[in-house]
Structure 1
Amino acid sequence: MAITLASATLLANPGAAAADPSPAQARAKLVKLNEQADKVVEQYNQATETHKTAKTKYDVLNAEVGQKDAQAEALRRDLVTAAVSDYQAGYQGWERFVAQGSPEAILGGMASLDQMAQSRAAKLRAFEAATKDLRDRRDAARTVLAEADAARDKVRGQKAKVDKLVAEQTRILRRLGAFQTGNPRSTGITYTGSASGNARAALQFAFAQVGKPYRYGGTGPGSFDCSGLTQAAWRSAGVSLPRTTWTQWSWGAARRVPLNALQPGDLLFSKGLGHMGMYAGNGKMVHAPQTGDVVKVVALDGYWRNRLLGAIRP
Structure 2
Amino acid sequence: MPVAAGLAFGLVLSSMGSAAADPKPTISQAKAKLEKLNDKADKVVDRFNAATERYKGAKGTYTKLNDSYKRKLATVADLRAQVVNMAVDTYKLGNYATTLPGLITADKPEDTLSRMALAGQMTTERAQKLAAFDRENRGLKAERDKAEKALEAADKGRDAVQKERSEILELIDEQKKLLRKLGAYNPGNPNSTGVQYTGPASGNAAAVLRFAYAQVGKPYVFGGTGPGGFDCSGLTQASWRAAGVSLPRTTWAQWSWGASRKVSLDALQPGDLIFSEGLGHVSIYAGNGQIVHAPQTGDVVKIVKLSEYGRNLVGAVRP
Partners of 1:180 and 1:252 lie apart in 2 by 32
The answer to whether the 8 A contact 1:218-1:228 is kept is yes
Which of 21, 25, 31 aligns to 2:25? It is 21
What is the DSSP-based 3-state SS (H/G/I as helix, E as strand, rest coil) of the residue aligned with 1:278? Answer: strand
Partner of 2:78: 74
| Residue matched to 1:279 | 285
**Could you tell which deviates more after superposition, 247-256 or 64-73?**
247-256
1:97 aligned partner: 101
Q: Distance in 2 between matches of 1:138 and 1:195?
A: 53
Unpaired runs of at least 5, structure 1: 1-13
Normalising by structure 1, report the TM-score. 0.82
After TM superposition, give the deviation of residue 303 of structure 1 in Å.
5.3
Q: Match for 2:87 among 83, 88, 91? A: 83
Secondary structure at the aligned position of 1:254 is classed as: coil
CA distance in 2, matches of 1:134, 1:80: 19
Percentage of matched positions with identical amino acids: 54
Cα–Cα, structure 1 residues 94 and 54, in superposed 2: closer, same or farther, change >3 Å? closer
Normalising by structure 2, report the TM-score. Answer: 0.81
Determine if contact 1:65/1:131 at 8 Å carries over to the other structure. Answer: no
1:34/1:138 CA distance change after superposition, 3 Å: farther
Q: 2: distance between equivalents of 1:82 and 1:274?
A: 66
Q: How is 1:1-314 mapped onto 2 (pairs within 5 angstroms)?
A: 17-93=21-97, 97=101, 113=119, 116-126=122-132, 129=135, 136=142, 139-140=145-146, 142-301=148-307, 304=310, 306-314=311-319
- Matched residue SS, 1:301: helix
Contact 1:58 1:138 in 2 (8 A): no
Contact in 2 for aligned 1:270/1:309 (Cα 8 Å): yes
- Count of matched residue positions in the alignment of Structure 1 and Structure 2: 297
Equivalent residues of 1:47, 1:148 under 8 A apart:
no
C-alpha distance 130-70 of structure 1, shift in aligned 2 (>3 A): closer
CA distance in structure 1 between the aligned counterparts of 2:229 and 2:269, rounded to whole angstroms: 26
CA distance in 1, matches of 2:75, 2:100: 37
- Paired residues of 2:51 and 2:161 also in contact (CA < 8 A): yes
Quick check: 2:58–2:157 contact (8 Å CA) kept in 1?
no
- Which is worse superposed, 189-198 or 27-36? 189-198
